Amino acid sequence: MSDSNFLHRLDGGTGNVRIAVVGCGGAGCNAIGSLGINAGGVARTIAVNTDAAHLLTVQAGKKLLIGRNITAGRGAGGNAETGRSAAEEARKTVREELSGTDMVFVIAGMGGGTGSGASSVIASAAREAGAMPISIVTMPFSFERGRRERAKDYLRELVHVSESTVILENQKIIELYPEQNVYSAFGLMNTLISDLVLNLSSTLVKPSLINVSYGDFRSVMRTGKTSTLIFNENSDIDVLVRGAVTKPFFQNTIKAAKGALIHVSGGSAMTLGRMHRIIAEAQEALGGCSNVILGARDDGRKNDILSLTAVVTGLEQAIS
C-alpha cells in the first residue's frame, strides 16, 4: 500500500466549512442533545420536532416546532405521513435556516412518526438551500416489529434524497453490550452519533493532528449512498481494528465497502507510526478498498487507549 492511498494532509488549514446538525423527532433530538447549542463551536445545532414538550427537554442552538396546525404540538403519534406533512409545512423556514450552510447532518430514529416522515423533507430542504445532506439514522430494535417495515420504507426515501446515509441498528448495541438495558442502549447509541458528528465536524473545521479536507470528505461519502459505522476502543492495534471491523452497526460484514472515513482519537499513545498501522490494517480488513481517509484528534487522554470510529460506505445492496 502506498502513501498515495492516504489523502491526509498535515498542513493545518481546512478552509471555512459551515456545518449544521439537525435532530429530527424524539430520537434525533435526543442524539444531538449532548452537542449543546453549537457543538463546541464547530456546528450549529437545530432541533426539529412536532412534540412541543419534548423540544423543551433538549438543548440546541435553534428549536423548530413543526406542524403546529396539524398536531397542535403533540407529536405525530407514530404516523409518518403526519410527520412528513408537518415538515412540508415548515420546508421554507428550514430552507432559510440552512441557507449559507455547506453540510447538514440530518439525525433521526426511523420507525416513529416525526423522524421517519420529516427527515427526508429536511434533507431535501437542505439540498435546496445548497448544502450537502448527510443523514445518520437508527433502525428500530427487532422487538419493535410493527415499526421495522415502516422504518425501511421511509429509509429508502431518505437514502434517495441524502448524499449519503449512515445506518445504525439499535439492535446491534444489544448484541455488542448484552448487559445494557434498552434505555442505556439508547444512551450509548446517542453518544456514538453525537461523537461521530462532533469528530467529523471538528476534523473538518478545526486544525487537528491529521486534517481531512471537505473535498476529501465529500469524495469518500460519494463512494456510496449508504454506509454504517464501526467502533472500538483498545490499546492493542490488532484488537482495536479486528473488533471494529467484525462488528459493524448495520449488516454483518463490511467486505463490500467502497470507501471509509476513519477517525482515531487518543492521547500520547497516538503516534504517526500507529496511525499508519491502523489505516493499513483497516484497509486490509475492508477488502483492500483504497478510498480511505484518516482523521485524528488528540483527546488529551493520559492512558494508551485509542478509539477508532469509521464510516464505511457502499452498503447499497443491504437496503434494496
Ligand X SMILES: Nc1nc2c(ncn2[C@@H]2O[C@H](COP(=O)(O)OP(=O)(O)OP(=O)(O)O)[C@@H](O)[C@H]2O)c(=O)[nH]1
Chain residues that interact with Mg ion, rule: CB under 5 A: 26, 51, 75
DSSP assignment letter at 34: T
Residue 224 lies near ligand X (rule: CB under 6 A): no
Task: Give the CA angle between residues 227, 187, 283 to the nearest 5°.
Answer: 30
CA–CA distance from 228 to each of 16, 91, 175, 261 (Å)?
27, 28, 16, 11
Q: Which does 140 bind (CB under 5 to 8 A by kind): ligand X, Mg ion, none?
A: ligand X
Name which of 26 and 295 has its Cβ closer to ligand X.
Answer: 26
Give CA–CA dist 195/30, Å, rounded.
13
Task: Please give the size of the binding site for ligand X, defined by CB under 6 A.
Answer: 27
Q: Which does 248 bind (CB under 5 to 8 A by kind): ligand X, Mg ion, none?
A: none
Sign (positive or negative) of CA dihedral 241, 132, 94, 88: negative
Give CA–CA dist 219/222, Å, rounded.
5
The annotation status of 27 as a binding-site residue, yes or no, is: yes
Residue 112 lies near ligand X (rule: CB under 6 A): yes
Closest contact distance (angstroms) between CB of 56 and Mg ion is 13
Q: Chain centroid to CA 274: how far?
A: 25
Q: Which does 170 bind (CB under 5 to 8 A by kind): ligand X, Mg ion, none?
A: ligand X
**Per-residue x/- track, 41-60, ligand X (CB under 6 A):** ---------xx---------
* Window of 61-69, 121-129, 186-194, 206-214 that interacts with ligand X by CB under 6 A: 186-194
Residue 23 lies near ligand X (rule: CB under 6 A): no
Is residue 39 a contact partner of residue 230, using CB atoms and an 8 Å limit? no
Which residues from 128-167 bind ligand X, rule CB under 6 A? 138, 140-141, 144, 147
Give CA–CA dist 120/133, Å, rounded.
10
DSSP assignment letter at 248: -
Name which of 75 and 314 has its Cβ closer to ligand X.
Answer: 75
DSSP secondary structure, 169-211, as one string: EHHHHHHH-TT--HHHHHHHHHHHHHHHHHHHHHHHHS--SBB
The annotation status of 223 as a binding-site residue, yes or no, is: no
Residue 288 Ramachandran class (φ > 0 left, ψ -120 to 50 alpha, else beta): left
Residue 228 lies near ligand X (rule: CB under 6 A): no
Q: Which does 138 bind (CB under 5 to 8 A by kind): ligand X, Mg ion, none?
A: ligand X
Q: Which does 120 bind (CB under 5 to 8 A by kind): Mg ion, ligand X, none?
A: none
Residue 276 Ramachandran class (φ > 0 left, ψ -120 to 50 alpha, else beta): alpha
The C-alpha cell that represents 3 in the structure block: 502513501
Residue 67 lies near ligand X (rule: CB under 6 A): no
The C-alpha cell that represents 97 in the structure block: 435556516
The one-letter amino acid at 121: V
Q: Which does 266 bind (CB under 5 to 8 A by kind): ligand X, Mg ion, none?
A: none
Torsion of CA 17, 22, 28, 33, to 10 degrees: 70
The annotation status of 234 as a binding-site residue, yes or no, is: no
* Window of 75-83, 125-133, 154-162, 245-253 that interacts with ligand X by CB under 6 A: 75-83
Q: Which of 14, 45, 101, 114 binds ligand X (CB under 6 A)?
A: 114
The annotation status of 26 as a binding-site residue, yes or no, is: yes
- Binding residues for ligand X, rule: CB under 6 A, are 25-27, 30-31, 50-51, 75-78, 83, 109, 111-115, 138, 140-141, 144, 147, 170, 186, 189-190
Please give the annotated binding residues for GTP, written as ranges.
26-30, 113-115, 144, 147, 190
